[in-house]
Structure 1
Amino acid sequence: MIHHPQTTIHAARLGNLEILKELIRLEADLNASDEKGYTALIIACYNRQYPAAQLLIENGAAVNSQDHGGNTALMGASFKGYHNVVELLIRNGADLNIQHGNGGTALMFAAMFGRNDIVSLLLEHGADRTLLDSRGLTAIDLAAQQGNVEAIKLLTAP
């Protein structure tokens, strides 16, 4: 297997499907990571490169891989508010409740940064609203800290 983590990650960042397809043809390791632990899928999702993310997933990229801080593609897309990317990840088995190094989850990121459509989507698919971060805070607490009234309503609804 050929390893091209930097090339694969760069192509994913730019959404360059032709280079990604060639790397796949050459059997590049799509789950290889850079010095920060970023994989091509994490970078594609964080940069809203939906077609690249889809291509990577279809060719075996690990949906739940984590960078060195414990962040996943789902966390990045939730933080950024990329609804279609979050949907793609959920459809392909993203674990909604993975916690990064400080205990944060995709739901917590969405609630903190006012991505309320993502909060709804994650809850609809079973995200755990009761998980605690390293400070003992839930997504509801984090939404409250930001004054995100809509997220509080979503997170406290039955």
Structure 2
Amino acid sequence: MAEGNGADSRPAGPGSQPRDPGDSLETQPGGWRGAPLGVTDGNAGPNLKEWLREQFCDHPIEHCEDTRLHDAAYVGDLQTIRSLLQEESFQSRINEKSVWCCGWLPCTPLRIAATAGHGNCVDFLIQKGAEIDLVDVKGQTALYVAVVNGHLECAQILLEAGADPNGSRHHRSTPVYHASRVGRADILKELIRYGADVDVSPSLAPGAPPPASRRLTSLVVCPLYISAAYHNLQCFKLLLQAGANPDFNCHGPVNVQGFCRGSPVCVMDAVLRHGCEAAFVSLLVDFGANLNLVKWEALNAESRGRVKVNPEALQVFKEARSKCNELKTCCYLYIHSFIEHLLCAYCARCWD
């Protein structure tokens, strides 16, 4: 289960385990994340679960002991879920957040079923009135955890039922970002089909400063950047086709001066720095990226030596920028000639 707080979103490189702004807890056996670092002995686990129950469960502990509905959602036991939801007491608890048999964080049955990939259970719980966009204590929606765990069917069911394709503004990652990072083009395509935002909006970031100073200060949070960093060409192309800003992948103002020293200043710069193949450069050129944002010649020999640039990609970039500059020169000469012609005509008319 993916459970994170957005501690780090720096790419670890194509050959290492991907990181996500929403991942920071260890993985339990069977692929279930949830045990905080340092909690490993047999006594600490139950104690932590008790503390989580006290802090985050929707009802007092004595009312949260019966977790049969949550446990059934975890194992995908649709028959038990059907049976339990015939009882009024369980119907009223369909959106209750509780710690279940194998979990650490209090979650709703829908959130648990989506995490485990039980599409039939997800569909049935929605039909019975489960709230789709409820978040867990870390701001994760059912759709987000379905995407993080790679469950396309669950994601489709949730989206069709009206789930917000952007996840929750209270979580530092988004379904689009995660799908772009791990290269799940099939999931990304569904998110885009249901209207997911492919550009970052700094104004919606948790804890954002006043509107006047909300500016993008890092490309690391952008889906285009992360898909390039992990060389996911198909996702990169889907984002551009969906209208992603080819320069900064962002809504609103950008504070390039606030970027960390030595970090990419635009998406094209990132593509070159991460050694992406020429197809990435060609796509950015085709979708109208500003090639003059890349100050490639300004890099000194030392920093350029640390950059593993794809020679073919660099050549495509240089040729495209050369053509762009030639076109600008031609336009300038044409405009200059046109203005000169107008002035001559105006002067001739004045003399007449």
TM-score, structure 1 normalization: 0.86
Of structures 1 and 2, the one with the larger relative CO (CA 8 A, separation 6+) is 1
Matched, 1:156 2:273: no
Percent identity over the alignment?
A: 28
Partner of 1:128: 245
Q: Which runs of 4+ in 1 moved over 6 A?
A: none
Bigger CA radius of gyration: 2
Q: Which deviates the most, 13-22 or 47-56?
A: 13-22
TM-score, structure 2 normalization: 0.41
Q: How far off its partner does 1:67 sit?
A: 5.5
Matched, 1:92 2:194: yes
Q: How far off its partner does 1:138 sit?
A: 2.2
Consecutive unaligned residues in structure 1, runs of 5 or more? none
Q: How far off its partner does 1:99 sit?
A: 4.2
Q: Out of 120, 137, 141, which is 2:265 matched to? A: 137
Q: How does 1:8-157 map to 2 (within 5 A)?
A: 8-66=110-168, 68-99=170-201, 104-131=221-248, 135=259, 137-150=265-278, 151-157=280-286
Letter aligned with residue 3 of structure 1: N
Q: CA 1:65–1:92 in 2, change beyond 3 Å: closer, same or farther?
A: same
For this pair of structures, how many residues does the alignment match? 158
Consecutive unaligned residues in structure 2, runs of 5 or more? 1-91, 98-106, 206-217, 249-253, 289-352
Q: How far off its partner does 1:40 sit?
A: 0.8
Q: Which deviates the most, 24-33 or 64-73?
A: 64-73
Q: How far off its partner does 1:141 sit?
A: 2.3
Q: CA 1:27–1:117 in 2, change beyond 3 Å: closer, same or farther?
A: same
* Residue deviations 1:37-73 (CA, integer Å, cap 9, x gap): 1111111112221110010011121111235443211
Report if aligned partners of 1:17, 1:51 keep a CA contact under 8 Å in 2.
yes
Query: SS of 2:188's equivalent?
Result: helix
Q: CA 1:121–1:154 in 2, change beyond 3 Å: closer, same or farther?
A: same
Q: Out of 74, 77, 95, which is 1:3 matched to? A: 95
Report if aligned partners of 1:11, 1:19 keep a CA contact under 8 Å in 2.
yes
* Residue deviations 1:127-149 (CA, integer Å, cap 9, x gap): 11122586273222222232113
CA RMSD of aligned residues (A): 2.3
